[in-house]
């Protein structure tokens, strides 16, 4: 019964999204149509929640008469994975996509940021997107299809996906991907109404921020998952799927900064619109890459070519339509505003040029193999290609970065900015000398990375001190300082693990010891342990350093009988500054096993820094929310970044 | 030419130069960092030189896996027509099995043995790396629904 309710709710949601798109666009001229657009956005939200709830109910109660549940769930699966298993497959994940879209539509409809007309046009665009994806679900990926006869037991969920952290990875990432649809809708609305001004940037900013925060957390979470669940010791593999999430993030970051200039001085208006369109277009391209099976990964659910073609069609209509609208209307928009070479706008311009270049590098590296594959040559682009470009681009970005917040809009004072930044320059110099002198192996790249990181973090500390002394306006500057410091900390983590990691691979029998970076690891033995829906081979290793026992670590290999699959469970012992990382390899007979060990210096900094970036975003969002509810606090309205 | 036009022309030229420079850099970087994918038949027919990095994919031949000294392991990758011996010093993925699909990254040594730096197996029972499917299809060993 729930299946039919879900199906009906989806059809009603589709009908309402069509009404919403027509009413939203007509609403530019008519107040009645605007009211209809608002209420259909809310109605569409309610019905999508209902459909999602119905699917959730089918999963939780293990209703195997629904084909999707039978193919992707199992009665023995822990409850949390029954709940999250809803989006661990193609159909459910698309429904989640639409659910998030409907939440944003409802948010736009309720908040009405940027005035009645802009809201109405934005709702119209959101309605079109929702209709396209609902049609996609109903025609090619219906999650409520029945299975007759109903099987006795389900097929289970890919064990790689049975992980507490990963369970919430898709909703977070979708909040980011789809959040960019709101910015996209606002950009299209500005092009339709022919009016972009500082109010536009202020209206769209909370959506940009939410999307950016979610993307940051989602990417960091995905990389953390790759780090501890794949057992390869690395945190980023330049896999097409990782790139698919990095591309919208790079453009989203550029957008956050250019929209800042648009909001404060009206500069970069047209460019901000183009970035808004690009950011969501890359989200769509990411969805296509990941879901269509064009690239192979744990994310590629669909193998049905009809789905790939349908998503491709949506992609062309959305991107093509938006770019055509841009080409037609953008020349009619009012131009930007002038600024001096030494001004905050200049630093934001450099930020944008570098980030968009980084995007181009990732885009080419990701698309080139796909294009070649279509012509029959299979290649893959390796990490060194990306690193060759990312190292200089991000170092340049971070050298310029601290000047931004120190320079005024339109016309800044470079000498004064430098004077304020003396402590940060000192921190950078000290870091360079210290790392170069003390850390082996000695590399200029390592010392240089730490100098740049110290320079950025130092500048953030200078900013925070100035805020505490009441010399700068709090929320916006504080948010920027947090996010920028986070970037510096992440850089330290990346440099530390990349340049100074130790790796050891040995076959150990019971009682035998291996050595890595000052640690002594002694194998006690490998035993069989039972989990709720898996059997594990668990190695117990005693960890000692300099003769002192530190404790035991238990890397595992888990066999999931229902799914007929295996997964590795690494063991990580962290000091906060360095990770000791163990993975259990294969059985070499006679109680001997291969053990792979890594010591990854500063690895935790990668995610700590990412967390700080997200916190910076949240602080900025908090400034906005405060401004929204306490409009009298005008300083905060004007300054919140 | 008015000063405005001259400025625009200079800007356009700068843009073209910068774009060409960036494109040249990307092509140069890609050239050195692209890994081609070959099937065992390709390795035989294309006479790939020793020391060139590439990826190889196919099935792990039955009864070909031998554990050597330490973590070293040898096996043979086949597509039914040709076979390439592989040596690997590392941890095999959890789903590495004889008779199953595998993709290895590395280069041929002077003895024409593929020295792998990384070995990837398929993700799960239902899934086969498309590169391997492609290689098997070309050698006629692929049956639909397999």
Q: Identify the contact set of chain B against chain A, taking CB-CB distances under 8 A.
A: 22, 25-26, 29-30, 32-37, 55, 67, 70-71, 89-92, 94-96, 123-125, 127, 129-131, 134
pLDDT value, residue A96: 95
For the segment A163-178, what is each residue's pLDDT rounded down to a tens digit? Answer: 777 788 889 999 999 9
CB contact under 8 A, A378 and B67: no
B27 and B40, same domain (yes or no):
no
B54 and B110, same domain (yes or no):
yes
Is B9 domain-assigned?
yes
B26 and B80, same domain (yes or no):
no
* CA-to-CA separations, B2 to B6, B7, B14, B16, in angstroms, rounded: 6, 9, 18, 21
**Residue B126 — pLDDT band, cuts 50, 70, 90?**
very low
CB contact under 8 A, B29 and A389: yes
Segment (H or E) for A595? strand A593-601
B93 and B127, same domain (yes or no):
yes
**C-alpha span between B134 and B130 (Å, rounded):** 6
Say what the pTM is. Answer: 0.90
Nearest to A506 among B33, B71, B123 (CB): B71
Q: CB of A405 within 8 A of CB of A477? A: yes
pLDDT value, residue B132: 66
Is B144 domain-assigned?
no
**C-alpha span between A518 and A516 (Å, rounded):** 6
Is B74 domain-assigned?
yes
B70 and B8, same domain (yes or no):
no
As a whole number, the mean pLDDT across chain A is: 89
**Residue B145 — pLDDT band, cuts 50, 70, 90?**
very low
Is B143 domain-assigned?
no
pLDDT value, residue B18: 84
CB contact under 8 A, B34 and A557: no
Chain A residues closer than 8 Å to B117 by CB = none
Low-confidence ranges of chain A (pLDDT < 70): 160, 292-305, 471-473, 563, 631-641
B103 and B66, same domain (yes or no):
yes
**Residue B70 — pLDDT band, cuts 50, 70, 90?**
confident
Instruction: Provide the CATH number for the domain around residue B52.
Output: 2.40.50.140
Q: Is the peptide bond before A101 cis (omega within 30 degrees of 0)?
A: no
B69 and B54, same domain (yes or no):
yes
Alpha helices in B77-129 (DSSP H): none
Beta bridge partners of residue B108, listed in sequence order? B114
Q: Which of A161, A585, A590 to mutate to test the interface with B (most CBs of B within 10 A)?
A: A585
What six digits make up the tokens of A594? 């291969």
CB contact under 8 A, B130 and A296: yes
Chain A residues closer than 8 Å to B25 by CB = 389
* CA-to-CA separations, A341 to A34, A348, A617, B18, in angstroms, rounded: 44, 11, 28, 20
Q: CB of A207 within 8 A of CB of A184? A: no
Is B83 domain-assigned?
yes
Residue A555 C-alpha from the chain's centroid: 28
The alpha-carbon gap from B112 to the nearest alpha carbon of chain A, in Å, equals 21
Nearest CA in chain A to B118: A232
**C-alpha span between B60 and B98 (Å, rounded):** 5
User: Do the domains A502-603 and A1-162 match in fold?
Assistant: no
pLDDT value, residue B146: 38
Chain A residues closer than 8 Å to B71 by CB = 505-507, 585, 594
Nearest CA in chain B to A508: B70
Q: Label the pairing between strands B34-38 and A379-381.
A: antiparallel
pLDDT value, residue A231: 76
Is B146 domain-assigned?
no
**Residue B124 — pLDDT band, cuts 50, 70, 90?**
very low
- For domain A1-162, the question of CATH label 1.10.1060 is answered with no
CB contact under 8 A, B30 and A382: no
Chain B residues closer than 8 Å to A506 by CB = 70-71
How many folded domains does chain B comprise?
2
CB contact under 8 A, A588 and B67: yes
B53 and B22, same domain (yes or no):
no
CB contact under 8 A, A385 and B71: no
B45 and B84, same domain (yes or no):
yes
B77 and B132, same domain (yes or no):
yes
Chain A residues closer than 8 Å to B79 by CB = none
Q: Which of B20, B22, B30 to mutate to test the interface with A (most CBs of A within 10 A)?
A: B30
pLDDT value, residue B125: 42
CB contact under 8 A, A566 and B94: yes
Q: What angle do CA A206, A211, A215 make, to 5 degrees?
A: 150
**C-alpha span between A336 and A261 (Å, rounded):** 10
Average confidence (pLDDT) over B40-57 = 87
The alpha-carbon gap from A195 to the nearest alpha carbon of chain B, in Å, equals 27
Nearest CA in chain B to A387: B29
Average confidence (pLDDT) over B55-78 = 87
- For domain A502-603, the question of CATH label 2.60.98 is answered with yes
Q: Where are the domains of chain A?
A: 1-162, 172-392, 394-494, 502-603
Across the A:B interface, residue pairs with CB atoms under 8 Å apart total: 85
Chain B residues closer than 8 Å to A586 by CB = 91-92, 96
B105 and B117, same domain (yes or no):
yes
B40 and B84, same domain (yes or no):
yes
Nearest to A388 among B29, B123, B134 (CB): B29
Q: Identify the contact set of chain A against chain B, taking CB-CB distances under 8 A.
A: 158, 160, 231, 296-298, 357, 360-361, 364-365, 368-369, 377-385, 388-389, 505-507, 557, 563-568, 583, 585-586, 588, 594, 596
For the segment A234-263, what is each residue's pLDDT rounded down to a tens digit? Answer: 899 888 888 999 999 999 999 999 999 999
Query: The tokens 């073609």 sit on which residue?
Result: A309
CB-CB neighbours of A94 under 10 Å: 25
CB contact under 8 A, A505 and B123: no
Instruction: Give me the DSSP letters along A131-182.
Output: HHHHHHHHHH--TT-B-SSPPSS-----GGG--HHHHTHHHHHHHHHHHHHH
Instruction: Give me the DSSP letters along A35-100.
Output: HHHHHHHHHHHHHHHHHHHHHHHHHHTT-TTBHHHHHH--TTS-HHHHHHGGGSSHHHHHHHHHHH
By residue range, what is the domain housing residue B27?
A: 1-34
Higher per-residue confidence, A211 vs B138: A211
């Amino acid at each position: 019964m729930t299946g039919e309710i879900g199906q009906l709710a989806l059809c009603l949601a589709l009908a309402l999204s069509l009404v919403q798109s027509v009413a939203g666009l007509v609403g530019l001229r008519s107040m009645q149509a605007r009211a209809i657009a608002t209420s259909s956005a809310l109605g569409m939200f309610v019905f999508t929640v209902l459909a999602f709830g119905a699917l959730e109910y089918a999963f939780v109660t293990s209703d195997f008469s629904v084909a999707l549940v039978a193919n992707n769930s199992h009665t023995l699966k822990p409850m949390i994975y029954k709940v999250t298993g809803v989006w661990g497959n193609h159909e459910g994940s698309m429904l989640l996509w639409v659910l998030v879209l409907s939440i944003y539509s409802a948010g736009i409809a309720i908040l009405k940021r940027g005035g009645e007309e802009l809201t109405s046009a934005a709702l119209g665009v959101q309605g079109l997107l929702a209709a396209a994806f609902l049609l996609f679900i109903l025609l090619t990926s219906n999650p409520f299809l029945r299975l007759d006869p109903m099987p006795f037991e389900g097929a289970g969920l890919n064990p790689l996906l049975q992980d507490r952290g990963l369970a919430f990875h898709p909703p977070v990432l979708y909040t980011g991907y789809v959040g960019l649809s709101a910015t996209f809708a606002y950009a299209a609305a500005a092009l339709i109404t022919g009016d972009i001004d500082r109010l536009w940037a202020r209206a769209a900013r909370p959506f940009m921020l939410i999307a950016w925060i979610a993307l940051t957390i989602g990417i960091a979470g995905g990389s953390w998952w790759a780090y501890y669940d794949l057992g390869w010791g690395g945190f980023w593999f330049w896999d097409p799927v990782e790139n698919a999430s990095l591309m919208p993030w790079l453009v989203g970051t550029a957008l956050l900064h250019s929209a800042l200039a648009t909001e404060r001085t009206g500069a970069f208006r047209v460019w901000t619109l183009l970035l808004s369109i690009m950011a969501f277009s890359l989200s769509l391209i990411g969805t296509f890459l990941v879901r269509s099976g064009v690239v192979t990964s744990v994310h590629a659910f669909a193998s049905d070519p009809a789905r790939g073609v349908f998503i491709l069609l949506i992609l062309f209509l959305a991107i093509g339509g938006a770019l055509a609208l841009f080409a037609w209307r953008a020349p009619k928009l009012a131009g930007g505003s002038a600024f001096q070479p030494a001004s905050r706008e200049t630093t934001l311009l450099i930020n944008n040029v570098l980030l968009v270049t980084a995007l181009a590098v990732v885009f080419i590296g990701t698309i080139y193999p796909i294009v070649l594959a279509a012509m029959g040559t299979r290649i893959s682009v390796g990490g060194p290609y990306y690193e060759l470009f990312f190292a200089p681009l991000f170092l340049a970005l971070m050298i310029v970065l601290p000047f931004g917040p120190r320079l005024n809009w339109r016309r800044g004072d470079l000498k004064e900015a430098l004077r304020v930044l003396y402590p940060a320059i000192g921190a950078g110099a000290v870091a360079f000398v210290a790392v170069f002198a003390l850390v082996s192996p000695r590399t200029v790249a390592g010392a240089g990375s730490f100098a740049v990181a110290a320079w950025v973090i130092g500048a953030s500390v200078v900013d925070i001190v100035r805020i505490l002394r009441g010399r700068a306006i709090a929320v916006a500057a504080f948010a920027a300082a947090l996010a920028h410091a986070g970037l510096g900390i992440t850089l330290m983590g990346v440099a530390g693990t990349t340049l100074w990691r130790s790796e050891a691979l040995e076959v150990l029998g019971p009682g035998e010891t291996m050595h890595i970076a000052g640690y002594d690891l002694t194998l006690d033995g490998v035993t069989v342990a039972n989990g709720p829906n898996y059997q594990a081979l668990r190695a117990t290793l005693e960890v000692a350093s300099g003769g002192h026992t530190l404790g035991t670590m238990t890397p595992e290999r888990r066999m999931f009988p229902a799914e007929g699959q295996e997964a590795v469970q690494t063991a990580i012992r962290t000091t906060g500054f360095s990770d000791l990382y163990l993975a259990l390899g294969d059985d070499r007979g006679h109680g001997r096993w291969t053990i792979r060990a890594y010591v990854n210096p500063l690895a935790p900094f990668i995610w700590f820094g990412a967390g700080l970036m997200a916190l910076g975003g949240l602080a900025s969002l908090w400034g906005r929310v405060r401004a929204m509810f306490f409009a009298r606090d005008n300083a905060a309205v004007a300054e919140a970044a | 030419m008015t000063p405005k036009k001259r400025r625009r022309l200079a800007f356009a030229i700068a843009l073209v130069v910068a774009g060409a420079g960036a494109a040249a850099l990307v092509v140069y970087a890609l050239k050195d960092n692209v890994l081609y994918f070959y099937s065992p038949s390709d390795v035989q027919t294309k006479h790939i030189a020793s020391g060139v990095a590439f990826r190889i994919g196919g099935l792990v031949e039955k009864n070909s896996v031998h554990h050597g000294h330490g973590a070293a392991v040898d096996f043979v990758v086949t597509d039914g027509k040709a076979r390439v011996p592989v040596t690997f010093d590392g941890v095999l993925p959890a789903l590495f099995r004889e008779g199953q699909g595998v993709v290895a990254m590395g280069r041929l040594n002077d003895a024409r043995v593929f020295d792998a730096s990384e070995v990837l197996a398929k993700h799960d029972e239902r899934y086969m790396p498309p590169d391997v499917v492609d290689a098997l299809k070309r050698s006629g060993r692929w049956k639909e629904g397999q």
